[in-house]
Amino acid sequence: MVKEKRHEELSKLRDEIRNVTLDIIDKVHKRMELSERIGTIKGNLNIEIEDEKVEQEVRGSVTELSHKLGIDPAFSGRLLNIMLMESIRLQQIQQKKPESTPSEYTHLSVFSKAKELESSGKKIIHLEVGEPDYPPPRMIKKALIESYNKKLYHYTDSRGLPKLRQAIAKKVGNGITHDEVIVTSGGRFAIFSAILSILKPGEEVISIDPAWPAYREFVDFAGGKIKTLETTLEEKWTPDIRQLEAMISEHTKVIILNYPNNPTGKVLDEKYITKIISLAKDNGLYMISDEVYSDYAFKRFTSLTHYKYDKSIVVSSFSKSCAMTGFRVGYGIAKKEIIDKMARVQAIALTSVAEPMQHAALSAIDYNPAGNVKLIKERLDLISEKLCNMSFDFITPEGAMYVYPRLRGLIQNDVILVEKLLNLGVAVAPGSGFGENYKQFMRISACQPKKLLERGLEVIKSIMLKH
């Protein structure tokens, strides 16, 4: 009897839940109608479709109500996000605007175009790529042969070979243990897996523009939202800490730093890093520090590992220091709990980094990059010297492999300039590939021999003289 009654009640509750569900969909429809009307008015008033402030207000109200009702705010946040994204999509269709994508014209697309031109017989000087032109350490050859002879070509732990993790921990120092190290498929996968481990859809990541475009890609991929703090040449690419503070909302989860910086060559002073860490601490934020250029620092640079912030993820790789780009070996340093999550992402996506490549990296662990660093520094000095005599403003790079000059004068669109240069046989990276508000900039890479650099800069000079 009791059982029968329960079944009856179950059936009644199911009817109720269906009705509530349909009621929700009905309200969602109403919401979308309102959103369309708002879109029309915005179109007439020529206002941007996305309005951060209004969005944050709605988010705030939803969170407040969720707390009051005892709903998990992460859950209601996800629901809200899906609705907001759909609203934006509908408004965009209405205004016939393309979906908001970042500049598609980056150093990579220039590289592809340059390759096309080359295959049709044109000679191109490659000042657009961030790939060293010098060879990797010699011991790698032996390591490759040994990996075959010793049958070291199997699945490994998703976190990487214990030996390699220990060697990286030792090299990084600052009390790091091998438990706090993951070997990844390039520094790229370390950041990718960190963001996918941390971020839930709708949550926010702050990065500092101009920046490597991949940060935005990772966050988009995770269904999150990137917010960019813009820095300026006038302020010598120093981020405004107060502005940074104002950008942090309760949805913010991560701040990404990248020093020595690609593309500006900036190395941020310790006092700013300290302030940013303190902001992160106060707001419970993760910090991802992309330090792949750390060997190429021409002034004092301190790794984030030094600060012992427990929500930090420090990323580096063998690609730039050891000129091992194509081996795809990088690593992440973080507390074990975070490493375990990143390893889970790597295990799902690709099991582990190829074992022979891990042995190649292990053989290069004690490699001294001083010669490479000296070479890049000399080339950067050469580029800087040449640019001084043209209509460019820039800071002399304090690190990394690039100069990021801004053109004085008429050309307001980097893409036009880049295209012109490409037709003259010189590939440079458009400034806007690193942030939409840097259309007057270009990135010149020091990954070519001096002779080619000189020749490339002559071409740049010739085009400048015409303006």
Distance separating alpha carbons of residues 419 and 110, to the nearest angstrom: 9
Residues 315-374 that bind its own copies (CB under 8 A): 324-329, 348-357, 360
DSSP-derived pairing of the beta strands 442-445 and 330-333 = unpaired
Distance separating alpha carbons of residues 175 and 381, to the nearest angstrom: 36
Distance separating alpha carbons of residues 334 and 151, to the nearest angstrom: 31
The contact pattern for its own copies, residues 140-179, with x = CB under 8 A and - = no contact, is: xx--xx-xxx-xxxxxx-----------------------
Min dist CB 125 to its own copies, Å, is 17
**Cβ-based nearer residue to its own copies, 301 or 367:** 367
72 binds its own copies (CB under 8 A): yes
**Cβ-based nearer residue to its own copies, 217 or 393:** 217
In this chain, which stretch among 183-191, 203-211, 225-233, 374-382 interacts with its own copies, using CB under 8 A? Answer: 183-191
Does a cis peptide bond (omega within 30 degrees of 0) precede residue 162? Answer: no
Q: Please enumerate in sequence order all residues whose Cβ is within 8 A of that of 357, keeping only pairs 6 or more positions apart, or say none.
A: 327, 328, 329
Which residue from 456, 419, 444 is spatially nearest to 114, judged by alpha carbons? 419
22 binds its own copies (CB under 8 A): yes
Which residue from 328, 336, 289, 296 is spatially nearest to 312, judged by alpha carbons? 289
In this chain, which stretch among 31-39, 95-103, 284-292, 386-394 interacts with its own copies, using CB under 8 A? Answer: 31-39
Which residue from 414, 466, 383, 353 is spatially nearest to 109, judged by alpha carbons? 414
425 binds its own copies (CB under 8 A): no
Distance separating alpha carbons of residues 369 and 361, to the nearest angstrom: 14
**Cβ-based nearer residue to its own copies, 83 or 241:** 83
**Cβ-based nearer residue to its own copies, 83 or 459:** 83
14 binds its own copies (CB under 8 A): yes
Which of 163, 221, 374, 413 binds its own copies (CB under 8 A)? It is: 221
Number of residues located near its own copies, criterion CB under 8 A: 94
Q: Please enumerate in sequence order all residues whose Cβ is within 8 A of that of 204, keeping only pairs 6 or more positions apart, or say none.
A: 224, 225, 226, 227, 249, 251, 252, 253, 254
Which of 102, 107, 135, 408 binds its own copies (CB under 8 A)? It is: 135
The contact pattern for its own copies, residues 184-203, with x = CB under 8 A and - = no contact, is: -xx-xx--x--------x--
Residues 302-321 that bind its own copies (CB under 8 A): none
